[in-house]
Every structure is written in structure tokens, then in C-alpha cells.
Amino acid sequence: MKDGGTSGIAWERQTMPQRLRRGDRFEFDPEMARRVVRYLDPIFRYYFRAEVRGTERLPPEQTMLVANHDGGMLPIDALIIGAAWHRHFSFKRPLHFLVHDMVLRFVDGLRRIGAVLADRQNLDRVMDAGHSVLIYPGAAGETFRPFWERKRITLGGRTGFIRHALRRRLRVTPVVSAGVHETFFVLARGTWFAERAGFRRLFRADVFPIVAGLPLGIWPGACFPQLPLPAKITCEILEPIDIVALAE
């Protein structure tokens, strides 16, 4: 299995067919990634007291990182994990991470450091290019789970990533994070309202959460991101799992 470096990016831009959906595109600018990591590092280090354990377990070959999803609209844990990945591999290996439409609408610049519109076709394109990817199977339902369920990991009950790993004979690298869900407070997931309002069709979302925190006090959490509270964030990269060996 290959995991393309910067030379693979130029190849990817030339040869990968573009999906027409919302003009989605694939990018990874290593210099931009360096600047973003350099800028965010003091915030991660001093505001969130972020800690990433187990980077030595990151496999040298292409892999699928699978993590629990916390923090609402702000992909703080993805940025922390991505920063650890890039420091470990000296910014020579792209890491794409799948994100929801709403996040890209607020921060389209995330594309330059590897963000990709989350859907199966785009996941296939990233995998076909030989790049590694960070995915959050739990999606909106998990990232907007109520505050009192913050220590419960369900991945939204989704297991489709296992089929992808089996088909491509990839190892899955589990990643667990804690603390991001304490940067704000989810009061209600809002599944009932989202279902009846047709949010899945309109916004690809099955929740309409009510959240509390800064700067608005209490508001619909899917409308505006929060100003995160200074919770300590800890991420741990676990041993890669050979899904193919387990299946056989």
C-alpha cells in the first residue's frame, strides 16, 4: 500500500477525476500545514494543554485513522491529531480528514491542509490516491451527543469503514480523544426535530442540537461554532488493527 508524499499530490491533482458536488477538491499544501501548526501550537499547548500519546504507533504505510467525534462544529481534535501526524512525518505525508459541509462553509481554507467533503465517493478517491485518511464514523450524531454522554463512544453505530479497510487490505488505526466535548455543553441532540424538519435531505444532518457555552450562552449548535472553553484535551493513537487477518 502506498502513501503518497508531496510528489504524489501533483500527480493526484492532475489525474484524479473531480466530483461535481459543491465543487469539491483535494488539496494538501505542506507549507500551509507548517504555518497552521506553528500558529496553532501555542493554543494547543497552553490553552488546551493538548497531549497526543502513541505517535510511535502510526504505521509507515497507508492507513485509515478512525476516531470518536467530539466538539460540535469545531474539529479541534482533528487539528490536534493532524498536527501530531505532520510533526511525526515531517510534513511529508498528506493526511486527509473528512468533514461535514457546514464546517467547510465556515472555514473553506481547511481544504489546503487536507480537509475533504465527507462522503463515500470522496473517501474512495483519497484511498485510490494512496493517501491516509482520518474519519469520524459517528458524524453529527456523536459530535453533538449530550454532555452527560461525553465519555461514551459509539461511532454512531456505523461500521462501513471496516468494509473499506477489508476491500483495500488496510490496517485501521484507532484514535481516542477526550476533553474536546468539555469545550462546550450539548444540552439536547435534537434528533426528533431534525427528522421532522427534513434536515437529512436539506443539510445531510440528523440532529438540530441545542448547546450552551461561549459566546452566545444557549443557541442552536449547528448554526454557529462555539468559542471553546479551555478544557484539557488528550488524544491517544492505539495499535493499528489488521482487519484482514481478523476476518480470515
pLDDT of residue 1: 53
Mean pLDDT of 22-48: 88
Determine the straight-line distance between the first and last CA of the chain, rounded to whole angstroms.
19
- Res. 16: pLDDT tops 60: no
Pairing of the two strands 95-99 and 132-135:
parallel
pLDDT of residue 107: 76
98 - beta bridge partners? 116
- pLDDT tens readout for residues 37-87: 999 999 999 999 999 999 999 999 999 999 999 988 888 999 999 999 999
- Res. 8: pLDDT tops 60: no
Cβ–Cβ < 8 Å for 123, 164:
yes
pLDDT of residue 12: 39
- Res. 7: pLDDT tops 80: no
Q: What's the mean per-residue pLDDT of the chain?
A: 87
Mean pLDDT of 20-24: 46
pLDDT of residue 104: 74
Mean pLDDT of 144-152: 94
Cβ–Cβ < 8 Å for 163, 203:
no
- pTM equals 0.86
pLDDT band for position 3 (50/70/90)? low
Helix (H, G, I), strand (E, B) or coil at 67: strand
Pairing of the two strands 63-67 and 95-99:
unpaired
